[in-house]
Amino acid sequence: MENKDLRKIQEMGGGTALISLPKSWVKKNNLKRGSVVSIESSSDRLIISPHSNEQREPKEITLEYPPKHLHNLLNEITAAYLLGYHIIRIAGKDRVSYSDRDTIKNAMKFLMGLEIVEEDAHTITIQFLLEPSNIHPDKLFMRMHAITSGMHKDLLTACIENDAKLLKDIRGRDDDVDRLYFLLVRIIRSAVQDPMLAAKFGMSPIDCLDYRVAANVLEAIGDASARAAESSESELNFSEEDKNLLNKVGSMLTEIQDSAVKALLTKKASEARRVVELHAELKENIAKHVDVEKKANFLAELLSTMNSVARLCVDIADLAVPLYPTVR
C-alpha cells in the first residue's frame, strides 16, 4: 500500500485553491508541462487521472473448446462476465456442436448485455454491449427490490386463491431477478476497479460493498419465493382464519422489505430498528395462530418461508447502521 501523501492547499487571487501533484506520480504517468488530467468529483473527494484521447482497449478472454465438461465452460463464461470482460471468445480446433451452441446461447439469457457478434463452425465471439456508466446500481437494486417484493406478495395471493398460473409466473420472475443480480455484480465490480466510474455513481468503496451484499440478500429472497411456489400443493384448502393470517403476514412483509431498503438508502437507524420491530411482530402473529414447529403442512412451510424472508430483510437493514439500542 502506498503511503498517504498530505499536502497543504495554497491560495491564489480570486479564491482559486492549488495543490501540487506528487513528482513520482507525474513521472510514472509520463506527464509534463501542458499535459491534461481528468478530475472527477463526488460529495467528499476528487479523483485525478491522466487524460487520454485514446479509448481503452476492451478486456478480452479466450475460452478453450471443447471443455472437459460443458458446465465448466458455462461457469467460465459467467465468471468472465462478472469480472468485467468485454469480449469472450470461445474457440478451439473442434467444431462447436449444435447442442453445445444452443446450451451456450440459453446460458447467456441470464447475462444481460451479452450478445453473439460473430460465429462460425469453430468460434463464438460474445460481446458486452451495454455502457456501464449509463447503468446506475441504484436502479438495478430498486428493480430487484420491486420484483422480489412482488414475488412474496403474489405468492400468498396465489396460495389463497389457488391460482396455478400466478404460481408459475412467480417462478419465471426469479430468472429476471438472477439477470439483474449478475448485471449489478458486474457493474459494482467495475466501479470498485475504476474510481472514476464509482465517482460518477457517487459511491464509496463501502457503498459498493453494501450494495453487493444487499443484492445477494434480495436474490436469496427471490429464490425463497420461487421455491415455495414450486412446492405449492395443487389444491389448497385454507380456512378463513388462515387466509386472514396470510393476508396480514403478506402486508407486514411488504412493509418490512420496504423499510429495510429505505434504511439502506437513507442510513437511518430509526428505519433499521423498525425492520427489527416489525419482524418481531410478524413472528408473534404467526405464533398466535399456528405452531409452525408442530404443524407439518404447507401452511407451516409457507409461514416459515415468510419468516425467513423477513430475517433476510433484517440483514439488509443491518447494513445501514449498527443496530444499537438507542434509536436516532
Pairing of strands 123-128, 46-50: unpaired
| CATH for the 134-318 domain, from 1.20.58.220, 3.40.50.10470, 3.40.50.620, 3.20.20.10 | 1.20.58.220
Q: How far apart are CA 178 and CA 42, in angstroms?
A: 30
Return left, alpha or beta for 20; rule: phi > 0 is left, psi -120 to 50 is alpha, else beta: beta
Distance between terminal CA atoms of the chain?
36
Q: Could you tell me the strand order of the sheet in which 60-64 lies?
A: 60-64, 87-91, 123-128, 114-119
**Residue in 80, 52, 48, 53 with CA at minimum distance from that of residue 64:** 80
Q: How far apart are CA 42 and CA 56, in angstroms?
A: 23
CB 185 within 8 A of CB 193: no
Per-residue pLDDT, 53: 55
Q: Phi, psi at residue 315, to the nearest 5°?
A: -60, -40
The neighbour count for residue 217, using CB atoms within 10 Å, is 22
Per-residue pLDDT, 147: 98
Q: Answer whether 60-128 and 134-318 agree in fold.
A: no
Pairing of strands 60-64, 87-91: parallel
State the fold for domain 60-128: Translation Initiation Factor IF3 (3.30.110)
CB 118 within 8 A of CB 224: no
Per-residue pLDDT, 51: 64
For the record, the C-alpha cell of 148 comes out as 422480489
- Which amino acid would we find at residue 250? G
Pairing of strands 87-91, 123-128: antiparallel
What residues of the chain score a pLDDT lower than 50? 1-2, 324-328
pTM over 0.75: yes
- Which amino acid would we find at residue 167? L
Q: Phi, psi at residue 310, to the nearest 5°?
A: -60, -40
Cα 221 from chain centroid (whole Å): 12
Per-residue pLDDT, 13: 65
For the record, the C-alpha cell of 89 comes out as 471468445
Per-residue pLDDT, 298: 81
The domain limits of the chain are 10-50, 60-128, 134-318
HEC string for the chain? CCCCCCCCCEECHHHCEECCCCHHHHHHCCCCCCCCEEEEECCCCEEEEECCCCCCCCCEEEEECCCCCHHHHHHHHHHHHHCCCCEEEEECCCCCCHHHHHHHHHHHCCCCCEEEEEECCCEEEEEECCCHHHCCHHHHHHHHHHHHHHHHHHHHHHHHHCCHHHHHHHHHHHHHHHHHHHHHHHHHHHHHHCHHHHHHHCCCHHHHHHHHHHHHHHHHHHHHHHHHHHHCCCCCCCCHHHHHHHHHHHHHHHHHHHHHHHHHHHCCHHHHHHHHHHHHHHHHHHHHHCCCCCCCCHHHHHHHHHHHHHHHHHHHHHCCCCCCCCCC
